[in-house]
Amino acid sequence: MPAEDSYLLSETLENYLINLINNNNSNINKNLKIIDMGSGSGIQAKTCKKLGFKNILTADINYDAVKNLKKQGFNAKQSNLFEKIKDKYDLIIFNPPYLPEDKLEPRDSRLATTAGKEGYEIIIKFLKQAKSNLNKKGIILLLFSSLSKPSVIKKQAKLLGYHLKLLKKQNLFFERLYVYELSALHRTVNIRE
């Protein structure tokens, strides 16, 4: 089931794509190559599909999630990040596990929530791998938490050559969620808040 972070990213993604369509006088190519990494329930892919985008790949490490995505009619691949993904994409969407390790959390749920001992390791690994799978003018929409050590993530992203732009943030009871646009070029699209 999607949680607050998934809905925040979905809302930001929808606004982002609508703004992209409007700024291009509806001539935006609906065949943009999109990958919803760590797709889970498929909420981000559904948002893209609802807006008419067709060239969408969903990917998840979890076999059951991939099976469910295929049942929903999505092109789905089981992969640990980009391990089995070779293509390049115009838009990469990622709502990663972003919490620091909690030894009290059951092992089976850690896969979906824990990003490593500090809460950012999977995100950094993703950013390193994504460079090889991002088209020249491609964009990444990435969500992470104040619990993930955002300063470390942003510093590492800049060292990897990404330009970052904060698109949205949301305060929750115990954390703040952020959605960033990352690009290899200094190309950004303004988004309505």
The CATH number for 13's domain is: 3.40.50.150
Tell me whether residue 110 is in a domain. Answer: no
Domain ranges, residue 77: 1-22+33-98+133-142
Instruction: At 105, list the tokens.
Output: 């959390």
**Cβ atoms of residues 56 and 34 within 8 Å:** yes
SS (H, E, C) the chain: CCCHHHHHHHHHHHHHHHHHHHHCCCCCCCCCCEEEECCCCCHHHHHHHHCCCCCEEEEECCHHHHHHHHHCCCEEEECCCCCCCCCCEEEEEECCCCEECCCCCCHHHHHHHEEECCCCHHHHHHHHHHHHHEEEEEEEEEEEEHHHCHHHHHHHHHHCCCEEEEEEEEECCCCEEEEEEEECCCCCCCCCC
Residue 114, beta-bridge partner list: 99
Tell me whether residue 73 is in a domain. Answer: yes
Tell me whether residue 177 is in a domain. Answer: no
- Say how many domains are in the chain: 1
Residue 142, beta-bridge partner list: 94, 180
**What's the Cα-to-Cα distance from 192 to each of 20, 25, 68, 71, 139, rounded to whole Å?**
11, 17, 32, 34, 17
Cα(22)–Cα(80) distance, rounded to whole angstroms? 35
Per residue of the chain (193 residues), give pLDDT as tens.
557 788 999 999 999 998 887 776 555 667 799 999 999 899 999 999 999 999 999 999 989 999 999 999 999 999 999 999 999 999 999 988 765 565 555 565 545 555 556 667 889 999 999 999 999 889 999 999 888 889 999 999 999 999 999 999 999 888 899 999 999 854 444 443 3
Cα(31)–Cα(104) distance, rounded to whole angstroms? 44
Residue 116, beta-bridge partner list: 100
Residues in the chain: 193
State the pLDDT at residue 98.
60
Q: pTM, whole model, 2 decimals?
A: 0.86
189: left (phi over 0), alpha (psi -120 to 50) or beta: beta
Tell me whether residue 167 is in a domain. Answer: no
44: left (phi over 0), alpha (psi -120 to 50) or beta: alpha
**Cβ atoms of residues 34 and 57 within 8 Å:** yes
Tell me whether residue 191 is in a domain. Answer: no
Tell me whether residue 65 is in a domain. Answer: yes
